[in-house]
Structure 1
Amino acid sequence: MLYLILGRAGYGKTEYCFHKIQSLAESGNQDILLLTPEQYNFTAEKRLLSMLGESRVNSVQNLSFTRLSNELKRLYGGDTLPVLSKGAKAVLMKKAMDFVKDELTVFANKTNTASFISSMTDIYDEMKSCAKSWQDIQSASERINRKLLSGKLSDISKIIEKYEELISGVYFDSADEMTRLYTRLAETSFLKGKTVFIDGFNGFVANEIKILERIIQDSQDVYITLATDSFGQEKEYDLFAYINKTAATVIRIAADTGLDYRIIQLDKNYRTQNKFLLLCEKQLYSQNAAVIDEQPDSISIYKAKSISDECDHAALMIKKELRAGCRAGEIAVICRDTEKYRSELSYAFRKYEIPFFDDERQSIGAQPVVAFVRFLLRTVVYSFRSEDILSLAKTGLTALAPTDVNTLENYIYMWNISGVKKWGVPFVNSAKGFSSELSEYDKKVLEKINQAREYLYSRLIQFKNAVKDSDAAGISAAVYHALLSFGANRKLKSLASDLNELGKDALADEQQRVWDLLMNILNDLAVVSGSESMRVKDYADLFSIMIHSEDLGVLPQGIDCVQFGQADRMRADNPKIVFVLGANEGEFPKSVFSGGLLTENDRIALSENDFTLYSFGETLTYQERYFAYMALSVASDKLFVSYEGNVKNDAPSSLITSLRTMFPAMEVCRYEDIPETELVESRTSAFDLMAAKFGENTSFSESLKKYFEKDSRYHSVKLLFENEEISLNNRENSKKLFGKDMYLSASRLEDYFNCRFRYFCKFGLMARPLQKAQMNAMQTGTVIHYVLEHVLSEVGTKKLSGESEAHIRIIVNKYLNQYFETQLGDTTEFTKRFKYQFMRLSKMLYSVVIRLADEFAHSSFQAEAFELSIDQDGDVQPSVIQLEDGTVRIRGAVDRVDVLNKDGEKYIRVVDYKSGNKKFKLSDVLYGLNLQMFVYLFTICSDKKSRFSGIPAGVLYMHAARSVFSVDCGDAEQTLKADADSEYKMKGIVLYDQEHDILNEMEDGVKGRFIPVHYTKSGLKGCFASLEGLGRIAKKINTLIAEMGNGLHAGHIEQNPINGKDHNYTCDYCDYSDVCASKKYIHKREMIQMDDSKVISVLEEVQDGKTVD
């Protein structure tokens, strides 16, 4: 006898079955079978045990269709073919595609993509569940009068035919499980005398219908529950139209087998007694819904500003329910797309300390051991590409410490190392970059780097040799041995042990499960790929396909957890309180269309030709409304529904409009409507509120601030809100960090006065951006300095003008080659491009030397020192500047020092070579910029023990690079000469000493070809200063250096970038913009533009006690 138990959600269909089961079991019946969906098995088991007790629970077999098949195999035996894993199935499907690729028409160019392989396995499973063979598909393709669809079906049938040929007699595909179950039920007496209960299903696919036929025909009694109250009424747009079709199919089966049936229609809601929830369940989607004109106390609607707000509100309300005594297991959260909500909801639950369980299976692609194997294979496929080797090392599954990996990566980046040839030999260059020789420290660092290189290379080359000309089994074995040689297995065990100690048992167990799954994948690859030789690239492609196909189940973290799931899959376990998220138009209920290889129109055309597949079109719409109905009807006590409503297009769905139609007095809640005190449900949420409301002068805000004022994070919030300057509060720590007695390079002055925070990052935290060893502007400048120093030292400034151009070329090339051979370390591995870029500097250097020859031919100054060292053990001793508690000394090296001996005095000027076009403004000095050369000049002149002690005569910047000029053809020669003179004219400032006529000694006639001054009819023009003016500059610079030293001791590291003409990109190109602490706004130090004479007068004011802003 067939009993069809019908009733709406909560009307006691399951209760009816369980009471019947209890009655049968207590009467001694041992032949009871309960069939439920897979996801409901555990809940049903608990219910049976609670109801029947340990003594009678074994009277009932609680199975799903898959577990029923396994039970029959256990009882009666059967084929022993190994079951294909998801990954192995994908690989064999790919092999089938490759076999028939030349015969395909529509899909011929898509067989190599992972997405197509996935779609093909999906369509195969769908065809099987709909009881369609490849012959059926081929037949349909022949009778369909649509070329594209016919071609699709023909391709699909050919692939499936080949796939089934590959697995026939070798493997078993679980897609055939229902077919095997049907055969076993027909061949055995398993169902004879049994009373079968089928509960919890929304519908059945074709192959399950066949199983029902066998169950109804062979069992003694069959009870089937379906959620509907309109069967036989044929209402248009009925909510249960989809379920009614299933009911009709079940009755047809009974009629075809000549079996009596009885319809038991349940008409009372036993789940809830709340009048609002009763109305919601009864009237949702009803065209003539009843109306209750009062605010429902058990139903609420929340209009969220964002997904984050929506999830936070749900977690907030759940926390309140938990505090009120509700158990977590009595609460369910339902949405239509778990992927959209998973991360935000997980964060919100952790924030409010809510235990929850999400049964979604995880991809294994991101697991470290899987990533390890992927990069291991890629290393061989791409011939030891560095990014693959370093990615392998970063998985944490090697013996290398993270610091060793980081140091190695920096070295690889610096020297642009990649490929098996470069990895196979010891690295010889300095980890600091270009260097003529290695210090002892450099050698130790390099030795450590080479140990890491050898560790990785020796194991990787062993793996490379092992997989050469091997088959899949050999490659799988080599992968396994590589894992062992790197110690990946030990690392995973160690990780699991650490996780256990931290109380994260589930994560600890996951490590072993991932390892076991990986071993299965390697084994499956070896088995399904055959014994023919295989390229590593092909193996890697198949490995990726398997990884894409496999997943990992999530183990519950505890017994009492909030249930979270997707509406079309979730079977909630009688929750008291339900939260429905995402009730937006098109999202829940979802606007769905059939996807995959066959489109919506394809499926309609097939249905018209008596070839029906999964639901499509209008049926999908009915299903979506049914899923929404079930979600809103599962709560017994309270229902919370939320949607996003912050954006114009975020319209509420029919769930919201239906609820508001039934309950017109219902108010929609927003974040702003919730009293502040009710928002505090955990320490984390309270801190977030404190931060969000920090600026509000309310008792609530002040109470939160008072509570958290000793929290280590409180100061950061306060700092941000009040826009306080960052500083190091402990003066002693500042001195330890920067040094009580500072010994600084002159270039640091520029960093400090550009921005103190940048200085802190660079020289306090010692955070430096990685630099490649290449011919950049800095390296080009170093080469220029070297060559010019050696050329001028060899020839001399006065003799230079007498040298022929040919000889100058020879000398330039000699020292350029000498630099290449002696200063760059091992040059054997340099690329041709690098060597070309380096040697093309000769043309530029030749032009510069010719210009120098011309300059010294018109000047009485002579270059007497190159790369002059200002240091404790250098040619010149650094000056000592006193601080409030300590000292500052500035060290450095001067590119060139020129000397003029006249009238018993020694005049000194310093020259800096610039590969870029240096702009010089004396006003920069007032703000701490461009101090370096001035510091050098005044230090050299003031060192009485130095042979260069004398009178400061100027600071000059020489453009030592080639420039491109645009000229008209008519006056090209004259224009080029004028442009070159202008380009090569030195920038800077020189001494104006009319008594000794120093300017004329610098350049005959003071025409301004070489120095930044010239005479006109109205007098001297350009950048110059008297000796008294230079003295004021020196005094200002000493004041600035002392200000810097005292500021660092006081912990002044605030963000105060300079801003002004030619200095308005300080932040745009800062290396530390990513770590610059967030602020509401940053106060930039604005520069006042002024001419040189104004600068000198300002310095006079400074001496009188005034300051410059």
Structure 2
Amino acid sequence: MSLKFWIGGSGAGKSHDLYQYVIEQSQKNPATNYIVIVPEQFTLQTQRDLVLAHPRKGIMNIDVLSFARLAYRIFDETGDENSQRMVIDDMGKSLVLRRIATQKSDELSVLGKNLKKLGYINEVKSVISEFMQYSIKEHELEKLMEYAKNRPMLQYKLKDISILYRAFLEEMQGTYTTKEELLEILCRVIDQSRMVRNCVFVFDGFTGFTPVQNQLLQKLMVLAKEIHVTVLLRTAEQIDQEQEEQKKIQEQMLFYMSEKTISTLAKMVNDLNVPLQAPFRYLSTPVYRLKDNPALAFLEEHIFRNTAETFLEEQDAVHILCAKNPEEEMKQICIEISKALRNNPDLHYGDIAVITGDTQLYAHTAEQEFTLYDIPYFMDQTRGILLNPLVEYLRALIEIIVMDYNYEGIFRYLKSSLSDFGQEDIDQLENYVLAFGIHGRKQWSHPWLRKSRHMQAEELVRMNELREQVTMQFECYEHGMREAECAKDYVQVIYEMITSQNMEQKAHAMAEGFEAAGKMETAKEYHQIYRMIMDLLDQICELLPDEQMSVKEFGELLDAGFDEIRVGVTPPSIDEVMIGDITRTRLKDIKLLFFAGVNEGIVPKGNSVSGIISDLDRELLSEQEIELAPSRRQQAYKQRVYLYMIMTKPNQQLYLSYSLASEEGQALQPSYLIREIQKLYPNIEIKRPSFDAGSALSERLMTPKSALGELAACLREQLNPEYEALFSWYLSDENYKKQVLLYVEAAFLPQKTDPISKAVAQVLYGKVLTNSVTRLEKYAACAYSHFLQYGLLLKERELYSFEASDLGTVFHETLKLYSGLLEKSPYTWFDIPEDAENELLRQSVEASMKTADILYSTARYQYLIHRITRIMERTVHMLTKQVRKGLFKPNNFEFSFATQTDFHSLNIRLSEEEEMHLAGRIDRVDTYEDKDKVYVKIIDYKSGNKSFDMAAIYYGLELQLVVYMNAAIEMQQKEHPDKEIIPAGVLYYHIDDPIIDTPKQLSDEEIEEQIQKELVMRGLVNSDQDILAMIDQEFQDSSTVIPVSKTSKGEFSKSSSIATTEQFYLLSNFVNQKIAEMGSQILSGRIEQNPCVTQKQDACTYCDFHSICQFDEREQSAEKRQLDKLSAENALAGMNMSLHKKSDGEEV
């Protein structure tokens, strides 16, 4: 019975010398057992170290165990009934806690509302596990609640936790135990063990011990022959019991935990009268590992010591790298690894490690870059399984039943790669479901009859075939789940479904596919996943067999179990670069270490303790001398020890790297650790790698695969000689020639600005081009966008939703119906009474709603019906007022001119073989007729606040109103061949119910007047005084109908939007010319990327084709057309000039 400390800094040789001591003693005393206790994740490595160090390459009387494995070893010997209870893991605890939370939800004042959230049960489990690990009993919890009475929220949380904790312990009583309770049970039965009395115990690799571990050590001090403990402490000065009172000050010291361990264990042996042997102290400087590396030895001796000493000598052991983002950071690490291996033949992949404070953040980037640079690696992390296809498949099936065949559940199931549906079928089915809002078992069970605009009859047949296949897969399974009453029944249905669908074979087939692709870690995950799911189902049957629950509750139970499962794999090879984190990864004999992600928020690592008990709560509770897991402040101190340990692992070179920005582009700051290193090494330079075409390629040329990516990124730029040589090499290598030529083709041949041939244009559009005005305006804004939409017929996926364009459709349909009903009624716009107006409008709104059944699908949409009705009431009321103020009579509503093949303005000859037909629909045509003339006014309803822009007409961006006027004039001319047709105006009416914002109180009449001013039509009106009077008989100084006003001198104001009859004809002729030009350009094959920019709009802003176009303004050939701002006068002058040039035979 004795205790001995082996005390030294990182790399001093504590573990090595202690293992040598154990090996020597085990050979001298073959009858004595030597048990080496290390953290769980270190057991395999320690076994390997001992076997390799042993002269016989075998260890007969030496065992390497963790605390848990020691407990099982002694339980096997003693056979105590308490030790024979089934041990449930974290997954089992979550299952039990999920059930308890459901049963106790009414008693939980704070936690109850969150317990069904995915991951929250895990938080509760963490708190309860922490209490058990730190031996906090119910009475101590009551003491904490009493102490927290001045902190109501903390007290309520502790009360809720107490309820769950008590119920959990009752559930465990006599039947189950947890891994946290193992050591408590071990302490109760270890006195019965004979094996322990003949053992020498070695504890290595611990930075400190928990209270229950200390209790076990106290027992072993009396029972075991010897106890040896390694302690990480740079100086061998112990602290006595009087100094223990100053521990809060000493928490800031780097080796505080080690000093506390020595003090605690020394006090134990003193209380037990157990001999404390003289410690083995490692006082030499530098430590053994770094004796040949002065720079790293200086780091080991001074980091985190508040020293003013600096290392001024030239050194090549400590480096700092700075990169733009994590991807470039990992790329530079791969380059440095490749260079180091190339320059040092004695260096192997297994001699190198990459450590980061956040493995999840860097895992994907590391996998990508290490694969690209052909560097074998092992990712030392456990993985969750929630996104595994088999788990996703099961979760989706539950969701389908719970959420009544919802879209998300069905397509999660279909896309899980286990559903036996082809990808094309899944895509087509998804498009249909989204377009028509298919939701619910009822809709999935009945034939689908609706077709989208371009859908063929056979495609609808195929959709129904797929629908039947999907529902058939669900029916048997769904029936079983709905009939199930308890957890065991649900598990039985799940098991039958898994076996009938051959899930085990499918999982193994996928694993073999990953093996063939060289993805060994993923393959191992897929080999384990089926067994893990079966274990979960077994635990549910074992722990909760007769628990009554709904399908939804069973799904939540499964989620809690899946959330706990972690997949861990062992390295498939010794000679691989280890990629791990600061605390988990065990490194041995490392020569080069790369410490990635040394940024604030990553180093030091964020708070890892439970979020239910906050950091402030922990600080408060610690005042009661009840030990809990470290608070954020304590964690920060503790993490410095891990940083010290990790940075002193390599014996040749240490690289620290950080990023300037995240993958999302958010700015990042370097960690305080970078500043600490710069203080110690003031001459150190931060290396900032460059990956552009102008930088030295030879510094980064490591593998053909990695260099190919760099070359592809620079092909459009001026290549320097190095890149030209690399390009020539790829062309000469048959393995890469085809790939590099594809990159060249993508970069240069063809450019999107190149025209398509006239023959191809005719295939796409035909010789007779049928165009809408909107389509021509699209072409004027960007020829390439027009080509994608109307040439290739690309379109966004249709969604079952109600967008702004749908609202406009409902508005137009309602006004069309109202106008039609009014024409059939005994009334006109001029004499219809208000009650009749309201009745016709009600009928119109109801009828238009039938074309928009989506408006009845949700409460939000149903509210929109009321809003539509209110806006329509305002619109009809205002339109009626405006009509009654003038002499014009509304004549044509929703007039379609698609079939008017004899209208010259709509059927334009482009060449001897080519022509263009214009199609469209005029919302309203108003006319006034006298003896010799017919006056025509066009009104276009807009749900948005559209303004009239003469410059936009000049550039071809807004042609609609003028084209409509041309068509209406031609129509009237055919109806009245003996009369002159005069354009009176082209106007937009904004469909709206405006809210008047005013600082003063207004009467109803004043409010109505303000609304009329808001709803004045915008557009262009004939300046003839007689015509203005025909439109608004009340017009004098200003109008509440049209955008015209006069100054005090009786002249038209600058804000008036007016034109003479001759100018209207000028507009008409120019637009006819413009659309003919654009029609010819379309059929000639012009499709260049030429988006235009005006003061009001940028053609790229709302374009649907960004991802296809990839318009890059950095390229010289890809410049947007900056259209000059033109006044109405200048625009008209430009039109006039253009017409004259055309008539003179010049090309425009």
Aligned-residue offset at 1:749: 0.8
Matches within 5 A, 1:299-698: 299-302=318-321, 310-324=329-343, 325=345, 326-339=347-360, 341-416=362-437, 418-419=439-440, 422-423=443-444, 425-432=446-453, 441=455, 443-456=457-470, 465=479, 466-467=481-482, 470-480=485-495, 492=507, 495-496=510-511, 498-529=513-544, 531-554=546-569, 556=571, 558-581=573-596, 588=603, 611-614=626-629, 623-642=638-657, 650=669, 653=672, 656-657=675-676, 660-661=679-680, 663-671=681-689, 677-682=698-703, 683-684=705-706, 687-688=709-710, 691=713
Higher alpha-carbon deviation: 379-388 or 949-958: 949-958
Q: Distance in 2 between matches of 1:106 and 1:452?
A: 47
Distance 1:453 1:1072, change over 3 A: same
Matches within 5 A, 1:169-248: 169-183=174-188, 185-234=190-239, 239-248=254-263
Q: Distance in 2 between matches of 1:527 and 1:1101?
A: 92
Q: Distance in 2 between matches of 1:161 and 1:824?
A: 56
Whether contact under 8 Å (1:333, 1:565) holds in the other structure is yes
Q: For residue 435 of structure 1, what is the aligned residue in structure 2?
A: none
Matches within 5 A, 1:844-993: 866-870=895-899, 879=907, 881-882=909-910, 889-892=917-920, 913-916=940-943, 919-921=947-949, 923-931=951-959, 957=986
Deviations 1:663-709 (A, max 9, x none): 44444444479966424445546745885898688656776788899
Whether contact under 8 Å (1:459, 1:485) holds in the other structure is no
Aligned-residue offset at 1:626: 2.6
Distance 1:368 1:953, change over 3 A: farther
Q: Distance in 1 between matches of 2:238 and 2:702?
A: 50
Q: 1:727 aligns with which of 745, 750, 753?
A: 753
Higher alpha-carbon deviation: 457-466 or 846-855: 846-855
Deviations 1:37-63 (A, max 9, x none): 222222223334444588734554332
Q: For residue 808 of structure 2, what is the aligned residue in structure 1?
A: 777
Aligned-residue offset at 1:166: 0.5
Number of aligned residue pairs: 1084
Deviations 1:183-206 (A, max 9, x none): 554323233544544433333323
Q: For residue 43 of structure 1, what is the aligned residue in structure 2?
A: 45
AA matched with 1:1088: L
Distance 1:982 1:365, change over 3 A: closer
Q: For residue 11 of structure 1, what is the aligned residue in structure 2?
A: 12
Whether contact under 8 Å (1:194, 1:221) holds in the other structure is yes
Q: Distance in 1 between matches of 2:1077 and 2:504?
A: 59
Q: For residue 745 of structure 1, what is the aligned residue in structure 2?
A: 771
Whether contact under 8 Å (2:1066, 2:1135) holds in the other structure is yes
Whether contact under 8 Å (2:266, 2:276) holds in the other structure is no
Deviations 1:249-281 (A, max 9, x none): 555556636457353334553323223233332
Determine helix, strand or coil for the equivalent of 2:11: coil
Whether contact under 8 Å (1:191, 1:219) holds in the other structure is yes
TM-score, normalized by length of structure 2? Answer: 0.77
Q: Distance in 2 between matches of 1:978 and 1:613?
A: 69
Determine helix, strand or coil for the equivalent of 2:651: coil
Aligned-residue offset at 1:787: 6.1
Higher alpha-carbon deviation: 208-217 or 968-977: 968-977
Aligned-residue offset at 1:882: 4.1
TM-score, normalized by length of structure 1? Answer: 0.80
Aligned-CA RMSD value: 5.7
Aligned-residue offset at 1:750: 1.6
Higher alpha-carbon deviation: 889-898 or 274-283: 889-898
Matches within 5 A, 1:752-831: 752-763=779-790, 764=792, 766-768=794-796, 770=798, 772=800, 774=802, 776-785=807-816, 788=819
Deviations 1:471-516 (A, max 9, x none): 2222333445566788876765664454344333432442343343
Whether contact under 8 Å (2:954, 2:1135) holds in the other structure is no
Q: For residue 280 of structure 1, what is the aligned residue in structure 2?
A: 299
Q: Which runs of no fewer than 5 residues in structure 1 stay unpaired?
A: 433-438
Determine helix, strand or coil for the equivalent of 2:36: strand
Q: Distance in 2 between matches of 1:899 and 1:42?
A: 94
Q: Distance in 2 between matches of 1:865 and 1:253?
A: 96
Determine helix, strand or coil for the equivalent of 1:539: helix
Determine helix, strand or coil for the equivalent of 2:578: strand
Q: For residue 247 of structure 2, what is the aligned residue in structure 1?
A: none
Q: Distance in 2 between matches of 1:789 and 1:47?
A: 92
Q: For residue 1090 of structure 1, what is the aligned residue in structure 2?
A: 1128
Q: Distance in 1 between matches of 2:1051 and 2:611?
A: 86
Q: Which runs of no fewer than 5 residues in structure 2 stay unpaired?
A: 244-249, 732-739, 1115-1119
Determine helix, strand or coil for the equivalent of 2:593: strand
Distance 1:193 1:145, change over 3 A: same
Q: For residue 734 of structure 2, what is the aligned residue in structure 1?
A: none
Distance 1:714 1:34, change over 3 A: farther
Distance 1:480 1:880, change over 3 A: farther
Distance 1:1023 1:450, change over 3 A: farther
Distance 1:886 1:274, change over 3 A: farther
Matches within 5 A, 1:42-191: 42-52=44-54, 56-58=58-60, 60-73=62-75, 80-96=84-100, 117-135=121-139, 137-138=141-142, 156=161, 159-183=164-188, 185-191=190-196
**Percent of paired sites with the same residue:** 18
Higher alpha-carbon deviation: 228-237 or 1082-1091: 228-237
Aligned-residue offset at 1:84: 1.5
Determine helix, strand or coil for the equivalent of 2:44: helix
Q: Distance in 2 between matches of 1:982 and 1:129?
A: 71
Q: Distance in 1 between matches of 2:601 and 2:1016?
A: 69
Aligned-residue offset at 1:1056: 1.2
AA matched with 1:358: M
Whether contact under 8 Å (1:691, 1:717) holds in the other structure is no
Deviations 1:140-191 (A, max 9, x none): 7679998878887676555433312101222221112223444554323233
Deviations 1:866-900 (A, max 9, x none): 4343388x999974644799765545566688999
Q: Distance in 1 between matches of 2:641 and 2:818?
A: 83
Higher alpha-carbon deviation: 881-890 or 307-316: 881-890
Distance 1:554 1:56, change over 3 A: closer
Determine helix, strand or coil for the equivalent of 1:510: helix
